[in-house]
Structure 1
């Protein structure tokens, strides 16, 4: 028992699948691009909303107490006006080098013990 319509329908169905495969794949790719773009836009909106909230929170809550900004401003005045104006950068760096010289010597002696070859006993 043969079905002649079946042999004719199989190649036609295969051809329809091949012709449908191109637009179906392209449509899927376009849909994925659209969805990923929407997701990215939503993430950017959430991030900008968070940044706005943080900025508003810092300006109303932290800056309103005036202790932290006053401390930071006083530290800037001490460092910039009293330290770097009376000394220039060269003397300031030279002072740090002199301060860090002793710990550096101790560290180099300790590390040289591990690097230097040990004398062999014969």
Structure 2
């Protein structure tokens, strides 16, 4: 599979991810402002504190003691109701309104981030599907250029070190190089050639020595046999005379070599 085809088949915003983000977006899109406004009103439809005060004023104006007593009792119960039930409800209401306000403040950026994330994922999906190959090649080219830049910087560093740090030791290196050339090429190499030739000569001598010894023995036997044969022939052809020599006298040796 080619790189272009791989980028086209790549899915960043999958259906499951899009469904999850959409559900989270719907959850964060709740209208908390209207709910907070509704809760910000009074707990009761009427102001019970004002109502109790009005009943107390009316009870003070009534001359009938029984009626005034019942109104006073009603005022007392109303104020007790306010202190035991209404005030705790108002406290809970204020806390709930505060929590709703804080939740609304936190949900606003979350909703914005979810919307931006979905938009960015769609944009990235489009660019990856249509320009993914070009983007990958561009990033690859930038990476190669960065590596080559590192190599060039290292080369410059090495050259700078050679010219400014190592170069003062060049005369010492030249002396060492000259001594090495003199010893290795002008002394050791000729000795190596001499010992190589000497070794081959010794090998040839070792191989030729047994053959030479056998040839010497063979030719010595041939010389002795030829000399003996000539001596016998000469003694048979010579007549006896005054100059005849005894058999004990040594024959004249004739060197045939």
The alignment's TM-score, normalised by the length of structure 1, stands at 0.49
The alignment's TM-score, normalised by the length of structure 2, stands at 0.27
